Structure 1
Amino acid sequence: MPQSLPVAIDLSTGDNLTTYMRAVNAAPILSAERERELALRYHNEGDLEAARELVMSHLRYVVKVARGFMGYGLPLTDLIQEGSIGLMKAVKRFDPGRDVRLVSFAVHWIRAEIYDYVLRNWRMVKVATTKAQRKLFFNLRKSRARLGWMNNEEVSQLAKDLDVETKTVREMESRLSSTDVAFDAMVDQDDDERYLAPSQHLGDSRYDPEVVVSGNEQTSERSQQLASALTELDERSKDIVTRRWLSDDKPTLHKLADEYGVSAERIRQIEKRAMEKMKKVISIQV
Protein backbone atom coordinates (compact mmCIF):
# COMPACT_ATOMS: atom_id res chain seq x y z
CA MET A 1 0.00 0.00 0.00
CA PRO A 2 1.44 3.39 -0.86
CA GLN A 3 2.56 5.66 1.97
CA SER A 4 0.34 8.49 0.67
CA LEU A 5 -2.92 7.04 1.92
CA PRO A 6 -3.45 9.22 5.03
CA VAL A 7 -4.60 12.81 4.83
CA ALA A 8 -1.95 14.87 3.05
CA ILE A 9 -1.54 17.54 5.75
CA ASP A 10 1.76 18.87 7.09
CA LEU A 11 1.74 18.35 10.87
CA SER A 12 4.79 20.49 11.58
CA THR A 13 2.84 23.37 13.12
CA GLY A 14 0.08 23.67 15.69
CA ASP A 15 -2.32 25.24 13.17
CA ASN A 16 -1.90 22.36 10.76
CA LEU A 17 -2.36 19.87 13.59
CA THR A 18 -5.66 21.54 14.44
CA THR A 19 -6.73 21.31 10.80
CA TYR A 20 -5.70 17.66 10.74
CA MET A 21 -7.72 16.91 13.87
CA ARG A 22 -10.80 18.51 12.37
CA ALA A 23 -10.42 16.49 9.16
CA VAL A 24 -9.92 13.27 11.10
CA ASN A 25 -12.94 13.81 13.34
CA ALA A 26 -15.08 14.78 10.34
CA ALA A 27 -14.46 11.44 8.61
CA PRO A 28 -17.56 9.23 8.92
CA ILE A 29 -17.51 6.12 11.11
CA LEU A 30 -18.11 3.09 8.92
CA SER A 31 -20.78 0.51 9.58
CA ALA A 32 -19.69 -3.12 9.74
CA GLU A 33 -21.25 -3.76 6.32
CA ARG A 34 -19.54 -0.79 4.66
CA GLU A 35 -16.21 -1.65 6.28
CA ARG A 36 -16.39 -5.22 5.01
CA GLU A 37 -17.40 -4.06 1.53
CA LEU A 38 -14.40 -1.72 1.32
CA ALA A 39 -12.03 -4.35 2.72
CA LEU A 40 -13.21 -6.88 0.14
CA ARG A 41 -12.73 -4.36 -2.69
CA TYR A 42 -9.17 -3.70 -1.59
CA HIS A 43 -8.37 -7.32 -0.74
CA ASN A 44 -9.77 -8.81 -3.94
CA GLU A 45 -9.45 -6.00 -6.48
CA GLY A 46 -6.61 -3.85 -5.14
CA ASP A 47 -8.93 -0.82 -4.99
CA LEU A 48 -6.79 1.92 -3.40
CA GLU A 49 -9.73 4.30 -3.00
CA ALA A 50 -11.40 1.69 -0.81
CA ALA A 51 -8.21 1.40 1.23
CA ARG A 52 -8.02 5.20 1.51
CA GLU A 53 -11.56 5.34 2.91
CA LEU A 54 -10.73 2.63 5.43
CA VAL A 55 -7.64 4.54 6.59
CA MET A 56 -9.44 7.89 6.76
CA SER A 57 -12.28 6.49 8.86
CA HIS A 58 -9.84 5.04 11.41
CA LEU A 59 -7.36 7.92 11.83
CA ARG A 60 -9.30 9.13 14.87
CA TYR A 61 -8.19 5.94 16.64
CA VAL A 62 -4.58 6.68 15.71
CA VAL A 63 -4.86 10.06 17.44
CA LYS A 64 -6.43 8.44 20.51
CA VAL A 65 -3.64 5.86 20.81
CA ALA A 66 -0.94 8.47 20.12
CA ARG A 67 -2.18 10.68 22.97
CA GLY A 68 -1.49 7.81 25.37
CA PHE A 69 2.23 8.05 24.55
CA MET A 70 2.61 11.80 25.16
CA GLY A 71 4.24 11.21 28.55
CA TYR A 72 7.48 10.19 26.83
CA GLY A 73 8.20 13.77 25.83
CA LEU A 74 7.89 13.13 22.08
CA PRO A 75 5.87 15.44 19.77
CA LEU A 76 2.26 14.36 19.31
CA THR A 77 2.60 15.01 15.56
CA ASP A 78 5.41 12.46 15.29
CA LEU A 79 3.45 9.90 17.30
CA ILE A 80 0.44 10.38 15.02
CA GLN A 81 2.52 9.98 11.88
CA GLU A 82 4.09 6.77 13.17
CA GLY A 83 0.70 5.44 14.24
CA SER A 84 -0.70 6.21 10.78
CA ILE A 85 1.98 3.98 9.26
CA GLY A 86 0.84 1.21 11.59
CA LEU A 87 -2.77 1.76 10.49
CA MET A 88 -1.82 1.45 6.81
CA LYS A 89 0.03 -1.78 7.53
CA ALA A 90 -3.06 -3.09 9.32
CA VAL A 91 -5.35 -2.25 6.40
CA LYS A 92 -2.98 -4.02 4.04
CA ARG A 93 -2.99 -7.19 6.17
CA PHE A 94 -6.63 -7.14 7.27
CA ASP A 95 -8.61 -10.23 6.26
CA PRO A 96 -12.26 -9.25 5.63
CA GLY A 97 -13.24 -12.91 5.78
CA ARG A 98 -12.73 -13.09 9.50
CA ASP A 99 -15.44 -11.93 11.87
CA VAL A 100 -13.35 -9.09 13.35
CA ARG A 101 -13.74 -5.33 13.04
CA LEU A 102 -10.80 -3.47 11.55
CA VAL A 103 -10.29 -1.26 14.61
CA SER A 104 -9.74 -4.31 16.85
CA PHE A 105 -7.10 -5.60 14.43
CA ALA A 106 -5.50 -2.24 13.63
CA VAL A 107 -4.96 -1.01 17.19
CA HIS A 108 -2.20 -3.58 17.71
CA TRP A 109 -0.36 -2.40 14.56
CA ILE A 110 -0.78 1.25 15.56
CA ARG A 111 0.65 0.64 19.03
CA ALA A 112 3.50 -1.50 17.68
CA GLU A 113 4.61 1.23 15.28
CA ILE A 114 4.50 3.89 18.02
CA TYR A 115 6.31 1.61 20.49
CA ASP A 116 9.07 1.14 17.92
CA TYR A 117 9.35 4.90 17.40
CA VAL A 118 9.54 5.58 21.15
CA LEU A 119 12.26 2.96 21.59
CA ARG A 120 14.28 4.36 18.68
CA ASN A 121 14.18 7.79 20.35
CA TRP A 122 14.54 6.64 23.96
CA ARG A 123 18.11 7.92 24.26
CA MET A 124 17.02 11.43 23.34
CA VAL A 125 14.02 11.27 25.67
CA LYS A 126 15.85 10.14 28.78
CA VAL A 127 18.67 12.69 28.44
CA ALA A 128 16.52 15.83 28.22
CA THR A 129 12.75 15.92 28.56
CA THR A 130 11.99 19.50 29.64
CA LYS A 131 12.87 22.85 28.11
CA ALA A 132 15.22 23.61 31.02
CA GLN A 133 16.94 20.24 30.66
CA ARG A 134 17.39 20.73 26.92
CA LYS A 135 18.98 24.14 27.54
CA LEU A 136 21.28 22.60 30.14
CA PHE A 137 22.00 19.71 27.78
CA PHE A 138 23.30 21.95 25.01
CA ASN A 139 25.33 24.14 27.38
CA LEU A 140 26.92 21.08 28.94
CA ARG A 141 27.79 19.67 25.56
CA LYS A 142 29.69 22.86 24.69
CA SER A 143 31.43 22.89 28.07
CA ARG A 144 32.33 19.21 27.96
CA ALA A 145 33.85 19.59 24.50
CA ARG A 146 36.42 21.97 26.02
CA LEU A 147 36.81 20.72 29.57
CA GLY A 148 35.83 17.08 29.87
CA TRP A 149 34.49 16.42 33.38
CA MET A 150 33.81 19.69 35.22
CA ASN A 151 35.20 20.50 38.65
CA ASN A 152 33.09 21.89 41.52
CA GLU A 153 33.83 25.50 40.62
CA GLU A 154 32.77 25.01 36.99
CA VAL A 155 29.61 23.19 38.06
CA SER A 156 28.70 26.01 40.45
CA GLN A 157 29.31 28.67 37.79
CA LEU A 158 27.20 26.90 35.17
CA ALA A 159 24.41 26.33 37.70
CA LYS A 160 24.48 30.05 38.53
CA ASP A 161 24.48 31.09 34.87
CA LEU A 162 21.48 28.85 34.07
CA ASP A 163 19.69 29.44 37.39
CA VAL A 164 19.51 25.75 38.33
CA GLU A 165 20.78 23.72 41.30
CA THR A 166 24.28 22.22 41.19
CA LYS A 167 22.85 18.70 41.60
CA THR A 168 20.84 19.25 38.40
CA VAL A 169 24.03 20.05 36.52
CA ARG A 170 25.74 16.96 37.96
CA GLU A 171 22.78 14.78 37.04
CA MET A 172 22.74 16.01 33.44
CA GLU A 173 26.52 15.60 33.19
CA SER A 174 26.11 12.00 34.33
CA ARG A 175 23.42 11.40 31.72
CA LEU A 176 25.65 12.76 29.00
CA SER A 177 28.46 10.47 30.10
CA SER A 178 26.35 7.33 29.99
CA THR A 179 25.95 5.20 26.90
CA ASP A 180 23.11 3.00 25.71
CA VAL A 181 23.82 -0.71 25.80
CA ALA A 182 22.02 -3.16 23.53
CA PHE A 183 20.19 -5.92 25.40
CA ASP A 184 21.84 -8.58 23.23
CA ALA A 185 25.54 -8.61 22.41
CA MET A 186 26.54 -7.84 18.84
CA VAL A 187 27.82 -10.71 16.72
CA ASP A 188 31.15 -8.99 16.03
CA GLN A 189 31.86 -8.07 19.68
CA ASP A 190 34.76 -9.84 21.41
CA ASP A 191 34.44 -11.53 24.79
CA ASP A 192 35.73 -8.47 26.65
CA GLU A 193 32.80 -6.40 25.33
CA ARG A 194 30.05 -9.02 25.23
CA TYR A 195 29.78 -9.16 29.04
CA LEU A 196 28.38 -5.59 29.03
CA ALA A 197 25.16 -6.75 27.36
CA PRO A 198 22.39 -7.44 29.96
CA SER A 199 21.47 -10.68 28.19
CA GLN A 200 24.86 -12.13 29.14
CA HIS A 201 23.95 -11.92 32.83
CA LEU A 202 20.63 -13.78 32.55
CA GLY A 203 20.36 -17.49 33.10
CA ASP A 204 19.40 -19.57 30.03
CA SER A 205 16.28 -21.50 30.99
CA ARG A 206 15.64 -22.94 27.53
CA TYR A 207 17.19 -26.28 28.49
CA ASP A 208 15.87 -26.43 32.03
CA PRO A 209 14.22 -29.91 32.26
CA GLU A 210 11.21 -28.49 34.09
CA VAL A 211 10.66 -25.78 31.46
CA VAL A 212 11.15 -28.24 28.58
CA VAL A 213 8.78 -30.86 29.99
CA SER A 214 6.14 -28.27 30.90
CA GLY A 215 6.31 -26.71 27.43
CA ASN A 216 6.04 -30.09 25.71
CA GLU A 217 3.05 -31.06 27.86
CA GLN A 218 1.23 -27.82 27.07
CA THR A 219 1.92 -28.17 23.35
CA SER A 220 0.74 -31.79 23.38
CA GLU A 221 -2.41 -30.90 25.31
CA ARG A 222 -3.30 -28.06 22.93
CA SER A 223 -2.74 -30.33 19.92
CA GLN A 224 -5.01 -32.99 21.40
CA GLN A 225 -7.74 -30.45 22.14
CA LEU A 226 -7.56 -29.09 18.61
CA ALA A 227 -7.63 -32.57 17.05
CA SER A 228 -10.60 -33.52 19.21
CA ALA A 229 -12.50 -30.35 18.26
CA LEU A 230 -11.87 -30.96 14.54
CA THR A 231 -13.44 -34.42 14.76
CA GLU A 232 -16.75 -32.77 15.74
CA LEU A 233 -16.98 -31.02 12.35
CA ASP A 234 -18.36 -32.29 9.08
CA GLU A 235 -15.85 -32.86 6.27
CA ARG A 236 -16.53 -29.55 4.50
CA SER A 237 -16.26 -27.46 7.67
CA LYS A 238 -13.15 -29.35 8.74
CA ASP A 239 -11.49 -28.75 5.36
CA ILE A 240 -12.33 -25.04 5.40
CA VAL A 241 -11.05 -24.48 8.96
CA THR A 242 -7.91 -26.54 8.40
CA ARG A 243 -6.97 -24.74 5.20
CA ARG A 244 -7.92 -21.27 6.44
CA TRP A 245 -6.31 -21.48 9.89
CA LEU A 246 -3.82 -24.36 10.00
CA SER A 247 -2.24 -24.19 6.57
CA ASP A 248 0.77 -22.09 5.55
CA ASP A 249 -0.83 -21.43 2.16
CA LYS A 250 -4.16 -19.94 3.23
CA PRO A 251 -6.78 -19.79 0.44
CA THR A 252 -9.14 -16.83 0.13
CA LEU A 253 -12.87 -17.11 0.72
CA HIS A 254 -13.46 -16.68 -3.00
CA LYS A 255 -11.12 -19.55 -3.89
CA LEU A 256 -12.91 -21.90 -1.51
CA ALA A 257 -16.25 -20.65 -2.78
CA ASP A 258 -15.28 -21.60 -6.34
CA GLU A 259 -14.19 -25.06 -5.20
CA TYR A 260 -17.42 -25.78 -3.33
CA GLY A 261 -19.72 -23.98 -5.76
CA VAL A 262 -21.14 -21.57 -3.19
CA SER A 263 -20.75 -17.87 -2.41
CA ALA A 264 -17.85 -16.42 -0.44
CA GLU A 265 -20.36 -15.28 2.18
CA ARG A 266 -21.53 -18.87 2.60
CA ILE A 267 -17.94 -20.01 3.18
CA ARG A 268 -17.53 -17.28 5.80
CA GLN A 269 -20.69 -18.45 7.59
CA ILE A 270 -19.53 -22.07 7.58
CA GLU A 271 -16.15 -21.04 8.94
CA LYS A 272 -17.72 -18.93 11.69
CA ARG A 273 -20.08 -21.68 12.84
CA ALA A 274 -17.26 -24.24 12.78
CA MET A 275 -15.04 -22.03 14.93
CA GLU A 276 -17.83 -21.46 17.44
CA LYS A 277 -18.45 -25.20 17.67
CA MET A 278 -14.76 -25.90 18.19
CA LYS A 279 -14.53 -23.29 20.95
CA LYS A 280 -17.40 -24.98 22.81
CA VAL A 281 -15.74 -28.40 22.53
CA ILE A 282 -12.38 -27.08 23.78
CA SER A 283 -13.99 -25.13 26.64
CA ILE A 284 -15.67 -28.33 27.86
CA GLN A 285 -12.34 -30.16 27.78
CA VAL A 286 -10.63 -27.41 29.76
Structure 2
Amino acid sequence: MSTAVSTPAATAVALANPWSVVPSLGNLDAYITAVNRMPMLTHEEEQRFAKDLRDTGDVESAGKLVLSHLRLVVSTSRQYLGYGLPHADLIQEGNVGLMKAVKRFDPDQGVRLVSYALHWIKAEIHEYILKNWRLVKVATTKAQRKLFFNLRSMKQGFKAEDAEQDVTYRDNLSDVQVDVVARQLNVKAEEVREMEMRLSGGDVLLDPAPADDGDQAFGPIAYLSDVNHEPTAMIESAQRDALATEGIATALRGLDERSRRIVTERWLNVRDDGSGGMTLHELAGEYGVSAERIRQIEVAAMKKMKTALAEYA
Protein backbone atom coordinates (compact mmCIF):
# COMPACT_ATOMS: atom_id res chain seq x y z
CA MET A 1 0.00 0.00 0.00
CA SER A 2 1.33 3.45 -0.87
CA THR A 3 2.27 5.74 2.02
CA ALA A 4 1.99 9.11 0.31
CA VAL A 5 2.98 12.04 2.50
CA SER A 6 0.71 15.08 2.55
CA THR A 7 1.13 18.48 4.18
CA PRO A 8 -1.20 19.62 6.98
CA ALA A 9 -2.73 22.18 4.62
CA ALA A 10 -3.46 19.51 1.98
CA THR A 11 -4.91 17.27 4.66
CA ALA A 12 -7.23 20.03 5.86
CA VAL A 13 -8.44 20.73 2.29
CA ALA A 14 -8.98 17.04 1.56
CA LEU A 15 -10.92 16.46 4.76
CA ALA A 16 -13.07 19.52 4.12
CA ASN A 17 -13.88 18.40 0.56
CA PRO A 18 -12.49 14.90 -0.15
CA TRP A 19 -14.03 14.68 -3.61
CA SER A 20 -11.80 17.55 -4.79
CA VAL A 21 -8.78 15.23 -4.69
CA VAL A 22 -10.18 12.53 -7.00
CA PRO A 23 -10.25 13.60 -10.66
CA SER A 24 -13.63 13.56 -12.38
CA LEU A 25 -12.06 12.48 -15.67
CA GLY A 26 -8.85 10.73 -16.59
CA ASN A 27 -7.25 7.35 -17.08
CA LEU A 28 -6.62 4.64 -14.51
CA ASP A 29 -3.11 5.88 -13.70
CA ALA A 30 -4.50 9.34 -12.89
CA TYR A 31 -7.08 7.78 -10.60
CA ILE A 32 -4.50 5.68 -8.75
CA THR A 33 -2.19 8.70 -8.37
CA ALA A 34 -5.08 10.74 -6.98
CA VAL A 35 -6.24 8.19 -4.41
CA ASN A 36 -2.68 7.70 -3.21
CA ARG A 37 -2.63 11.42 -2.37
CA MET A 38 -5.61 11.01 -0.10
CA PRO A 39 -4.59 11.67 3.53
CA MET A 40 -4.66 8.78 5.97
CA LEU A 41 -7.05 9.24 8.88
CA THR A 42 -5.80 9.08 12.42
CA HIS A 43 -7.49 6.67 14.80
CA GLU A 44 -9.33 9.56 16.47
CA GLU A 45 -10.58 10.95 13.14
CA GLU A 46 -11.71 7.51 12.02
CA GLN A 47 -13.60 6.98 15.28
CA ARG A 48 -15.27 10.38 15.05
CA PHE A 49 -16.42 9.93 11.44
CA ALA A 50 -17.60 6.36 12.05
CA LYS A 51 -19.66 7.41 15.07
CA ASP A 52 -21.18 10.31 13.15
CA LEU A 53 -22.18 7.89 10.39
CA ARG A 54 -23.59 5.34 12.81
CA ASP A 55 -25.46 7.80 15.03
CA THR A 56 -26.66 10.43 12.57
CA GLY A 57 -26.21 8.84 9.13
CA ASP A 58 -23.87 11.65 8.08
CA VAL A 59 -23.07 11.11 4.38
CA GLU A 60 -20.01 13.37 4.43
CA SER A 61 -18.45 11.29 7.19
CA ALA A 62 -19.09 8.14 5.14
CA GLY A 63 -17.41 9.77 2.13
CA LYS A 64 -14.32 10.66 4.13
CA LEU A 65 -14.04 7.09 5.44
CA VAL A 66 -14.38 5.66 1.95
CA LEU A 67 -12.02 8.04 0.21
CA SER A 68 -9.28 7.64 2.79
CA HIS A 69 -9.27 3.87 2.16
CA LEU A 70 -9.42 3.85 -1.65
CA ARG A 71 -5.69 3.13 -1.78
CA LEU A 72 -6.39 -0.11 0.11
CA VAL A 73 -8.70 -1.19 -2.72
CA VAL A 74 -6.06 -0.38 -5.33
CA SER A 75 -3.43 -2.33 -3.42
CA THR A 76 -5.71 -5.33 -2.89
CA SER A 77 -6.92 -5.41 -6.49
CA ARG A 78 -3.35 -5.77 -7.77
CA GLN A 79 -3.23 -9.24 -6.22
CA TYR A 80 -5.84 -10.43 -8.72
CA LEU A 81 -4.41 -9.14 -12.00
CA GLY A 82 -3.34 -12.68 -12.95
CA TYR A 83 -6.92 -13.63 -13.85
CA GLY A 84 -6.83 -11.48 -16.99
CA LEU A 85 -9.66 -9.15 -15.96
CA PRO A 86 -9.46 -5.34 -16.32
CA HIS A 87 -7.74 -3.67 -13.37
CA ALA A 88 -10.30 -0.85 -13.41
CA ASP A 89 -13.14 -3.36 -13.00
CA LEU A 90 -11.37 -5.05 -10.11
CA ILE A 91 -10.94 -1.67 -8.41
CA GLN A 92 -14.57 -0.80 -9.01
CA GLU A 93 -15.80 -4.02 -7.44
CA GLY A 94 -13.40 -3.54 -4.53
CA ASN A 95 -14.82 -0.05 -3.99
CA VAL A 96 -18.28 -1.59 -3.69
CA GLY A 97 -16.96 -3.86 -0.97
CA LEU A 98 -15.33 -0.91 0.77
CA MET A 99 -18.61 1.01 0.84
CA LYS A 100 -20.40 -2.02 2.27
CA ALA A 101 -17.74 -2.26 4.98
CA VAL A 102 -18.06 1.43 5.88
CA LYS A 103 -21.82 1.06 6.16
CA ARG A 104 -21.50 -1.92 8.55
CA PHE A 105 -18.47 -0.74 10.52
CA ASP A 106 -18.91 -0.46 14.28
CA PRO A 107 -16.30 1.87 15.84
CA ASP A 108 -16.88 0.32 19.27
CA GLN A 109 -15.52 -3.09 18.21
CA GLY A 110 -11.95 -1.98 18.84
CA VAL A 111 -10.57 -2.67 15.34
CA ARG A 112 -9.41 -0.30 12.62
CA LEU A 113 -11.53 0.09 9.51
CA VAL A 114 -8.66 -1.09 7.32
CA SER A 115 -8.74 -4.55 8.93
CA TYR A 116 -12.53 -4.76 8.81
CA ALA A 117 -12.83 -3.53 5.22
CA LEU A 118 -10.26 -5.92 3.78
CA HIS A 119 -12.67 -8.86 4.07
CA TRP A 120 -15.46 -7.03 2.24
CA ILE A 121 -13.15 -5.76 -0.49
CA LYS A 122 -11.82 -9.24 -1.22
CA ALA A 123 -15.31 -10.74 -1.09
CA GLU A 124 -16.60 -8.42 -3.80
CA ILE A 125 -13.52 -8.94 -5.98
CA HIS A 126 -13.79 -12.72 -5.56
CA GLU A 127 -17.44 -12.65 -6.60
CA TYR A 128 -16.64 -10.55 -9.66
CA ILE A 129 -13.83 -12.90 -10.74
CA LEU A 130 -15.98 -15.99 -10.32
CA LYS A 131 -18.75 -14.47 -12.44
CA ASN A 132 -16.58 -13.04 -15.20
CA TRP A 133 -13.42 -15.15 -15.46
CA ARG A 134 -15.29 -17.72 -17.53
CA LEU A 135 -18.64 -17.79 -19.27
CA VAL A 136 -19.50 -20.77 -17.10
CA LYS A 137 -18.95 -20.49 -13.35
CA VAL A 138 -16.10 -22.72 -12.22
CA ALA A 139 -16.72 -22.48 -8.48
CA THR A 140 -20.04 -22.50 -6.68
CA THR A 141 -19.53 -24.12 -3.27
CA LYS A 142 -17.38 -22.70 -0.47
CA ALA A 143 -14.79 -25.48 -0.92
CA GLN A 144 -14.59 -24.84 -4.67
CA ARG A 145 -14.09 -21.11 -4.10
CA LYS A 146 -11.24 -21.86 -1.69
CA LEU A 147 -9.66 -24.12 -4.30
CA PHE A 148 -10.12 -21.56 -7.07
CA PHE A 149 -8.27 -18.78 -5.25
CA ASN A 150 -5.50 -20.96 -3.76
CA LEU A 151 -4.73 -23.63 -6.36
CA ARG A 152 -2.97 -21.27 -8.78
CA SER A 153 -0.63 -19.87 -6.14
CA MET A 154 0.09 -23.33 -4.71
CA LYS A 155 0.97 -24.64 -8.17
CA GLN A 156 3.43 -21.75 -8.54
CA GLY A 157 4.97 -22.84 -5.25
CA PHE A 158 5.36 -26.40 -6.53
CA LYS A 159 6.95 -25.03 -9.69
CA ALA A 160 9.51 -23.09 -7.64
CA GLU A 161 10.30 -26.18 -5.56
CA ASP A 162 10.84 -28.26 -8.71
CA ALA A 163 13.16 -25.59 -10.09
CA GLU A 164 15.24 -25.60 -6.90
CA GLN A 165 15.52 -29.39 -7.03
CA ASP A 166 16.29 -29.31 -10.78
CA VAL A 167 13.20 -31.39 -11.50
CA THR A 168 11.24 -30.98 -14.72
CA TYR A 169 7.98 -29.22 -13.86
CA ARG A 170 4.72 -30.78 -15.01
CA ASP A 171 1.61 -28.70 -15.68
CA ASN A 172 -0.55 -31.31 -13.99
CA LEU A 173 -0.19 -31.94 -10.28
CA SER A 174 1.27 -35.24 -9.20
CA ASP A 175 -0.62 -37.50 -6.79
CA VAL A 176 1.64 -36.37 -3.94
CA GLN A 177 1.04 -32.69 -4.75
CA VAL A 178 -2.72 -33.28 -4.98
CA ASP A 179 -2.64 -34.82 -1.50
CA VAL A 180 -0.67 -31.84 -0.18
CA VAL A 181 -3.20 -29.36 -1.59
CA ALA A 182 -6.15 -31.37 -0.31
CA ARG A 183 -4.65 -31.61 3.17
CA GLN A 184 -3.75 -27.92 3.43
CA LEU A 185 -7.12 -26.69 2.15
CA ASN A 186 -9.13 -29.39 3.93
CA VAL A 187 -10.84 -30.67 0.78
CA LYS A 188 -10.99 -34.01 -1.01
CA ALA A 189 -8.32 -35.02 -3.52
CA GLU A 190 -11.04 -35.57 -6.13
CA GLU A 191 -12.13 -31.95 -5.73
CA VAL A 192 -8.55 -30.77 -6.31
CA ARG A 193 -8.29 -32.77 -9.55
CA GLU A 194 -11.69 -31.52 -10.73
CA MET A 195 -10.81 -27.87 -10.09
CA GLU A 196 -7.43 -28.28 -11.82
CA MET A 197 -9.26 -29.64 -14.87
CA ARG A 198 -11.71 -26.71 -14.81
CA LEU A 199 -8.92 -24.15 -14.56
CA SER A 200 -6.94 -25.71 -17.41
CA GLY A 201 -9.88 -25.65 -19.82
CA GLY A 202 -10.86 -22.60 -21.82
CA ASP A 203 -14.11 -21.24 -23.17
CA VAL A 204 -15.10 -22.47 -26.63
CA LEU A 205 -17.57 -20.71 -28.89
CA LEU A 206 -20.46 -23.03 -29.73
CA ASP A 207 -21.10 -21.19 -32.98
CA PRO A 208 -17.86 -19.53 -34.17
CA ALA A 209 -17.80 -16.63 -36.58
CA PRO A 210 -17.17 -17.31 -40.30
CA ALA A 211 -13.55 -17.68 -41.37
CA ASP A 212 -11.68 -14.94 -43.25
CA ASP A 213 -12.41 -16.63 -46.59
CA GLY A 214 -16.16 -16.48 -45.93
CA ASP A 215 -16.56 -20.18 -45.20
CA GLN A 216 -18.49 -21.16 -42.09
CA ALA A 217 -16.11 -22.22 -39.33
CA PHE A 218 -16.70 -25.60 -37.74
CA GLY A 219 -17.71 -25.44 -34.08
CA PRO A 220 -19.17 -27.68 -31.37
CA ILE A 221 -22.69 -26.59 -32.31
CA ALA A 222 -22.32 -28.75 -35.43
CA TYR A 223 -22.19 -31.96 -33.42
CA LEU A 224 -23.89 -30.89 -30.19
CA SER A 225 -27.20 -29.88 -31.73
CA ASP A 226 -29.91 -32.54 -31.83
CA VAL A 227 -32.05 -31.89 -34.88
CA ASN A 228 -34.36 -34.73 -33.95
CA HIS A 229 -35.67 -32.71 -31.00
CA GLU A 230 -35.91 -29.36 -32.78
CA PRO A 231 -39.60 -28.29 -32.57
CA THR A 232 -40.12 -27.88 -36.32
CA ALA A 233 -38.45 -31.22 -37.06
CA MET A 234 -40.57 -32.94 -34.42
CA ILE A 235 -43.79 -31.54 -35.93
CA GLU A 236 -42.75 -32.60 -39.41
CA SER A 237 -41.85 -36.07 -38.16
CA ALA A 238 -45.23 -36.43 -36.48
CA GLN A 239 -46.98 -35.35 -39.68
CA ARG A 240 -45.02 -37.89 -41.72
CA ASP A 241 -45.89 -40.65 -39.28
CA ALA A 242 -49.56 -39.72 -39.43
CA LEU A 243 -49.56 -39.69 -43.24
CA ALA A 244 -47.75 -43.03 -43.38
CA THR A 245 -50.34 -44.73 -41.19
CA GLU A 246 -53.75 -43.13 -40.88
CA GLY A 247 -53.35 -41.03 -44.03
CA ILE A 248 -52.55 -43.97 -46.30
CA ALA A 249 -55.27 -46.09 -44.70
CA THR A 250 -57.80 -43.32 -45.37
CA ALA A 251 -56.63 -42.91 -48.99
CA LEU A 252 -56.83 -46.67 -49.63
CA ARG A 253 -60.42 -46.76 -48.39
CA GLY A 254 -61.33 -44.29 -51.14
CA LEU A 255 -60.27 -46.74 -53.91
CA ASP A 256 -62.26 -49.52 -55.47
CA GLU A 257 -61.35 -53.06 -54.47
CA ARG A 258 -59.22 -53.83 -57.56
CA SER A 259 -57.27 -50.55 -57.45
CA ARG A 260 -56.72 -50.95 -53.70
CA ARG A 261 -55.33 -54.49 -54.14
CA ILE A 262 -53.05 -53.44 -57.01
CA VAL A 263 -51.56 -50.58 -54.97
CA THR A 264 -51.23 -52.78 -51.90
CA GLU A 265 -49.53 -55.65 -53.71
CA ARG A 266 -47.25 -53.36 -55.70
CA TRP A 267 -46.11 -50.97 -52.95
CA LEU A 268 -47.15 -52.08 -49.47
CA ASN A 269 -46.63 -55.81 -49.37
CA VAL A 270 -43.15 -57.35 -49.40
CA ARG A 271 -42.26 -60.92 -50.40
CA ASP A 272 -40.73 -63.24 -47.85
CA ASP A 273 -37.35 -62.92 -49.57
CA GLY A 274 -37.54 -59.12 -49.33
CA SER A 275 -37.61 -58.64 -53.11
CA GLY A 276 -40.62 -56.32 -53.12
CA GLY A 277 -44.25 -56.63 -54.21
CA MET A 278 -45.91 -58.27 -57.20
CA THR A 279 -44.91 -57.24 -60.72
CA LEU A 280 -47.22 -55.78 -63.36
CA HIS A 281 -47.12 -59.04 -65.32
CA GLU A 282 -48.06 -61.14 -62.26
CA LEU A 283 -51.10 -58.96 -61.56
CA ALA A 284 -52.02 -58.87 -65.27
CA GLY A 285 -52.06 -62.68 -65.33
CA GLU A 286 -54.22 -62.81 -62.22
CA TYR A 287 -56.83 -60.34 -63.59
CA GLY A 288 -56.62 -61.50 -67.22
CA VAL A 289 -55.62 -58.12 -68.64
CA SER A 290 -52.46 -56.65 -70.10
CA ALA A 291 -49.60 -55.34 -67.98
CA GLU A 292 -50.21 -51.91 -69.53
CA ARG A 293 -53.76 -51.93 -68.22
CA ILE A 294 -52.52 -52.75 -64.71
CA ARG A 295 -50.08 -49.83 -64.98
CA GLN A 296 -52.89 -47.45 -66.00
CA ILE A 297 -55.05 -48.56 -63.07
CA GLU A 298 -52.06 -48.10 -60.74
CA VAL A 299 -51.35 -44.57 -62.05
CA ALA A 300 -54.99 -43.53 -61.65
CA ALA A 301 -55.14 -45.02 -58.13
CA MET A 302 -51.93 -43.29 -57.06
CA LYS A 303 -53.22 -39.93 -58.36
CA LYS A 304 -56.44 -40.38 -56.41
CA MET A 305 -54.51 -41.32 -53.26
CA LYS A 306 -52.26 -38.27 -53.65
CA THR A 307 -55.30 -36.01 -53.69
CA ALA A 308 -56.75 -37.78 -50.63
CA LEU A 309 -53.45 -37.46 -48.72
CA ALA A 310 -53.25 -33.72 -49.49
CA GLU A 311 -56.73 -33.23 -48.09
CA TYR A 312 -55.86 -35.34 -45.03
CA ALA A 313 -52.73 -33.29 -44.33
TM-score by length of 1: 0.42
Larger-Rg structure: 2
TM-score by length of 2: 0.39
- Bigger RCO of structures 1 and 2 (CA < 8 A, at least 6 apart): 1
